[in-house]
Amino acid sequence: DSITGDYLNRKAALYYANRNFKEALEVAIKSENFNRSKNFKYNLGYIKITIANIYSQTKNYPQAKVNYLSAVNFFKTQNNKSLYLISLYGLGKTNFHLKDLPSFQQTIQEIEMGIPQVSAQKQITETGYLNLLKGGYAYENNKFTEAKDYFNKALPITLKKRDFANEHLIYLNLGKIAWQQGHVEEAFSYLKKVDDLFTQKQFLNYELREAYTYLIAYAKQKNNLQLQVTYTEKLNKL
């Protein structure tokens, strides 16, 4: 039974890593039911993170929030600070997408309290990702200078971890800030990095898709019809 519980969790994680979200969710729900029936609490808590990640990647943010909250509450009671912080980070991004700023702020505060309880090396990593969340919170409150500072502080850890999804999420937000401030060419330099990621790695998720609305607007502003068509075709491909 314990081997089966581990196997289902890892199979769901494998499908998720390969972006086969439908299959990942089917296996994850099967794992959730199995681990609950066997009272394998750790496996159950862990699969909640995977389920939440799947819902987040497919823009079902209300369901993502339910599962992240479940994982947060479980790992908090198990005194597993690492997975507790991972769950909180996912919850924070979900609250950001839901524009639930009071809950977003509360999640940031919980992460701040949790970081000192992990190892010094993990504190560096978690602080970097916390800065990403703080940048998002500042942006939503129209504090663009503060947001830019936080995003730049978060960038090194994403580069160190080769976390290109969050690295380019930072570029997207830096581009949006520059656009809001009227620095169109600077904005384009950041947003073009998202397009480069799609071109080179064929990777694009719903978080990064927003870059193409700005790239299309840039092409229109420059009266560059070919560029406008190119970016529109890529958006349609997604």
Q: What is the pLDDT of residue 159?
A: 96
- Low-confidence spans in the chain with pLDDT less than 70: none
Model pLDDT for residues 173-228, shown as the tens digit of each residue: 999 999 999 999 999 999 999 999 999 988 888 889 999 999 999 999 999 999 99
Rounded distance between C-alpha atoms, residue 187 and residue 183, angstroms? 6
Q: Which two tokens stand for residue 130?
A: 């916390």
Q: Which residues contact 143 (CB under 8 A, 6 or more apart)?
A: none
Question: Does pTM surpass 0.75?
Answer: yes
Q: Which residues contact 140 (CB under 8 A, 6 or more apart)?
A: 96, 99, 101, 104
Q: Are 84 and 76 in contact (CB under 8 A)?
A: yes
Q: Which two tokens stand for residue 127?
A: 């602080």
Rounded distance between C-alpha atoms, residue 14 and residue 129, angstroms? 24
Rounded distance between C-alpha atoms, residue 111 and residue 95, angstroms? 14
- Matching residue, tokens 């229109």: 220
Q: How many residues does the chain have?
A: 238
Q: What is the pLDDT of residue 206?
A: 86
Of 213, 220, 219, give the one whose Cα is nearest residue 194. 213
Q: Which two tokens stand for residue 90?
A: 């996912």
Q: Are 49 and 86 in contact (CB under 8 A)?
A: yes
Q: Which residues contact 30 (CB under 8 A, 6 or more apart)?
A: 8
